[in-house]
């Protein structure tokens, strides 16, 4: 039979309740102070009663040591915004599959890659909890993906390039030129600073894996516009002169589409664009990075060099772009055959 104590005290931190028992009030207070200090000083007690937020914060620190700081930051932002905002205060063991499915359902209409990323985060959080025997089963298995927007990356057309370059004369769109001329990912371009420019060489601090840290040549047309950026100044600042965040980048992306539509001759009424829109619906800024890779191919750059310049983790990823055949390639092949025949 367990011993019965005369005095008892409880307290909660991060959704977990702690209980202290003692024979005297003095002993109870000593135990209380020691216990609370232990918990608050980071001596984490892992259990299924931990909140999802508390566990996720610990798991990110412990298990995500092989990714770059920017990748960890991006993952943390996504998890906070789309997962922890909904179930962060729930105890781990209380989360049911229906909670995880609802999180995914809330992403309906977004890109398929985004929806799959949120599912990956959910599975990762609860798989690690299961590995540590904090829960008996993972509520993030067998989740059904909601419908999302399909998007296939492609090279931009000559017509799109013409109008892109026109609107990018405005310095607020410099970020997109860094994607087109240096193959940056959006958040890589957003994080560029003056210290990353070394003559005609640009140091890109990768946002995916350590392999994506790389050095690329800066074409003269871009170098002339960014060469005077110094130190920690952002190369592609937002309207407040600071580096772009995810939200300010989304606004910039919308502004680019609007400006390109106007440049292409879209009609307007009271400052609103009137359909039909000249710019193709499937145009997305990430196409500029794809275009950079196809430009490397057309220039005859060896695929192994292209892999380094793109920051791809494997040459197979680069090969998927290098072996892509677009409409211009088909037309050229037909012309060559006509000449031979």
HEC secondary structure over 48-86: CCCEHHHHHHHHHHHHCCCCCHHHHHHHHHHHHHHHHHH
Where in the sequence is the domain holding 86, given as residue range(s)?
Answer: 56-131
Check whether residue 36 and residue 70 sit in a common domain.
no
Q: How far apart are CA 141 and CA 129, in angstroms?
A: 13
pLDDT of 333 reads 55
Highest mean pLDDT among 5-9, 32-36, 205-209: 5-9
pLDDT of 1 reads 47
Check whether residue 169 and residue 262 sit in a common domain.
yes
Res 325 pLDDT > 60: no
Give the model confidence (pLDDT) of 120-161 as tens digits: 999 999 999 999 999 999 999 999 998 765 556 789 999 999
Check whether residue 270 and residue 174 sit in a common domain.
yes
Question: Would you say residue 45 lies in a domain?
Answer: no
Check whether residue 188 and residue 245 sit in a common domain.
yes
Specify the number of domains making up the chain.
3
Report, as an integer, the average pLDDT of 4-13: 80
Q: Which residue has the higher pLDDT, 338 or 180?
A: 180
Cα dihedral angle (252, 254, 259, 261), rounded to 10 degrees? 160
Question: Would you say residue 295 lies in a domain?
Answer: no
Question: Would you say residue 151 lies in a domain?
Answer: no
Instruction: Provide the token pair at 161.
Output: 């390039």
Check whether residue 33 and residue 66 sit in a common domain.
no
Nearest to 260, CA basis, from 174, 161, 181, 164: 164
71-75, 159-163, 274-278, 299-303 — which is least confidently predicted? Answer: 71-75
Q: What is the largest CA-CA distance in the chain?
A: 103
pLDDT of 150 reads 58
Which residue's structure tokens are 């871009």? 222
């Amino acid at each position: 039979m367990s011993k019965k104590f005369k005095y008892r005290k409880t307290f909660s931190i991060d959704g977990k309740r702690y209980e202290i028992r003692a024979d005297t009030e003095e002993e109870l207070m000593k135990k209380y102070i020691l216990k609370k200090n232990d918990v608050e000083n980071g001596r984490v007690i892992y259990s299924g009663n931990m909140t999802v937020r508390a566990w996720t914060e610990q798991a990110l620190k412990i298990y995500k040591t092989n990714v770059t700081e920017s990748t960890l930051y991006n993952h943390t932002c996504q998890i906070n915004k789309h997962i922890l905002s909904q179930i962060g205060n729930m105890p781990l063991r209380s989360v049911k599959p229906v909670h995880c499915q609802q999180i995914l359902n809330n992403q309906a209409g977004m890109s398929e890659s985004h929806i799959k990323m949120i599912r990956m985060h959910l599975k990762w959080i609860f798989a690690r909890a299961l590995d540590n025997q904090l829960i008996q089963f993972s509520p993030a298995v067998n989740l059904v993906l909601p419908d999302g927007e399909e998007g296939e990356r492609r090279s931009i057309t000559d017509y799109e390039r013409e109008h892109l370059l026109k609107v990018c004369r405005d310095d607020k769109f410099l970020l997109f030129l860094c994607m087109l001329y240096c193959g940056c990912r959006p958040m890589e371009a957003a994080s560029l600073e003056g210290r990353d420019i070394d003559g005609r060489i640009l140091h890109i601090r990768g946002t995916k894996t350590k392999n994506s840290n790389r050095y690329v040549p800066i074409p003269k047309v871009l170098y002339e516009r960014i060469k005077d950026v110094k130190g920690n100044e952002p190369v592609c600042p937002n309207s407040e002169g600071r580096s772009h965040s995810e939200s300010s980048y989304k606004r910039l992306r919308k502004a680019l589409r609007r400006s390109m539509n106007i440049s292409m001759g879209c009609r307007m009424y009271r400052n609103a664009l009137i359909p039909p829109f000249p710019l193709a619906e499937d145009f997305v800024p990430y196409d500029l990075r794809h275009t950079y890779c196809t430009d490397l191919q057309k220039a005859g750059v060896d695929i192994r060099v292209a892999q380094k310049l793109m920051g791809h983790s494997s040459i197979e990823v680069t090969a998927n772009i290098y072996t892509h055949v677009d409409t211009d390639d088909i037309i050229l092949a037909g012309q060559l055959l006509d000449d031979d025949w």
